[in-house]
Amino acid sequence: MKARIGLEIHVQLTSLKTKLFCRCSADYRGAPPNTHVCPVCLGLPGALPVVNRKAVEHAIAVCLALNGEVADELVFERKHYFYPDLPKNYQITQYSKPICRGGYVEIEVRGRAKRVRIRRINLEEDPGRLVYPTGSPLTSPYSLVDYNRSGVALLEIVTEPDMEEPEEAAAFLEKLRSILEHLGVCDCGLEGAMRVDANVSVEGGERVEVKNIGSVSEVERALRYEIVRQASLLRQGGRVRRETRHWDPARKVTVPARAKEYEEDYRYMPDPNLPPVPIPAELVEKIRAQLPELPDERVKRLVSEYGIDRRTARVLVYTAKALADFFEDVVRLYPRDPQRTANYIVNDLLGWLKDEDLKPLYTRVRPEHVAKVMRMLDEGLISIRQAKELAEHIVKHGADPADLVEKLGMRRIADEERLRRVVEEVFRENPKAVRDALRKPKAVNFLVGMVMRKTRGQADPQLTRRLVEEMLEAVREGRLSLP
């Protein structure tokens, strides 16, 4: 079932030290409530906003990285509504002239490339936050409000409804997150740093807005649910009305929001405290010239510089900037066979991380650890299977792999003489299997398997096979006799 999906993403500019219109610290996470506040972000009478220049520069960089057109002047407007987290009763945002218009992001789903167009990007302030003593508005006897977030710089990125399936929306968000991380403007893994609303419609129905979606994988889930819900409503002869719904991640359904069936009138008006300021073309060009390496270029570079395949390079870069950084750190320490290193990170280490949470990888696992595993492989100290086994311990306990190998008794038996004795033992204990193997080449596997079992997987499989075959040859020629 094809759908039309558009996204509206709120991104905090978490790299800024201060808020958008005052000097309060923007690093509010974990701070006691209402400690990062001042008359400006509390909306006290007479307090005047002053625009954070860095925030404007960051917004311009995002616009350019998304191939958009930067406005020639900075215009702020007031959007009026009443809610306790908004002390001024209006939000300073952009309406008639967003800082960025147009642009696009290239995505790729199942090998098919596609452009998702950007409609606009607004620079605006974040409201405060309601805090419920029980964690839920439904069961709390009262609510509290924390204005630490009030006034934090926010980008509202609005796409055209160019996506046709949930996977495309997920691919878009993944790419966007990677671009923002490479620009260094948003640490999107922080709670609430990237918030997504989606609008979705299927043919014959009206547009439904789904709010409150937490992570990228939740977006995919919420959209999939919503598309099936709308399609089956229409199939049963019902109609899909225009409404706002909330995603309930616990029950994995969308539920109607306390409905507003009309377009709200926000009475937008220019903010008289913030008259329009020209954005000089020279500033835009300066920022363009200083744009860092972006994800698409980085994928190309990883492929050409390290000779790794494009699929793996994409996983490294689009999963998180820090993951690609991690890979390059390891390769710098141990440059041999980057493809094997990339595979190990993507297939083995990532597999032990849960729920898209990559933090353990950067906090517990050090690039030196992975470099050491690669070196031990090359030195024949451990087998590939043992390297895979080490991955779990490295991710879960952050231990040094050299210590782990000792502790887990993992040293591979690459010593030919020692292994030959084990093979002889196996031959003596399994004369019937040896006779089978002399007739059927397939039965050789059984003997190899017995050697592996006797050495608890520490024997080198290729060496084992060679020794088994040599010894079969010796039996065949009568140089070795069986009991």
Point out which residues bind Zn ion (CB under 5 A). 22, 24, 38, 40-41
**Phi, psi (deg, nearest 5) at residue 460:** -75, 120
> Closer to Zn ion at the Cβ: 86 or 377?
86
In terms of CB distance, is 54 or 466 closer to Zn ion?
Answer: 54
Nearer to Zn ion, 52 or 341 (CB): 52
- The CB-of-62 to Zn ion minimum distance in angstroms stands at 23
Nearer to Zn ion, 11 or 153 (CB): 153
Give me the least distance between CB of 38 and Zn ion, in Å please.
Answer: 3
CA atoms within 13 A on the CB side of 206: 10
SS3 375: helix
Place of tokens 């008006």: 269
Output 38 or 480, the one with its CB closest to Zn ion: 38
Min dist. Cβ of residue 72 to Zn ion (A)? 29
Token readout for 201 is: 């419609």
Q: How far is the CB of 227 from Zn ion (least distance, A)?
A: 42
Q: Report, in Å, the least distance between residue 44 CB and Zn ion.
A: 10
Q: List b or e across 338-360, with b for residues whose CB sees 16 or more CB atoms inside 10 angstroms.
A: beebbebbbebbbeeeeeeebeb
What does the alpha-carbon distance between residue 122 and residue 148 come to, in Å, rounded to a whole number?
21
> Which is closer to Zn ion, CB of 150 or CB of 319?
150
Closest contact distance (angstroms) between CB of 188 and Zn ion is 24
CA distance to 116, 178, 244, 483, per residue, from 222 (Å) = 20, 22, 13, 68
CA nearest to 26, candidates 35, 121, 88, 143? 35
Cβ distance to Zn ion smaller for residue 34 or 343: 34
Q: What share of the chain is helix, strand, coil (3-state, %, to 5)?
A: 40, 20, 40
Taking the complex as a whole, the smallest distance from the CB of residue 267 to Zn ion amounts, in Å, to: 25
Which of 100, 97, 104, 151 has its CA nearest to residue 124? Answer: 151
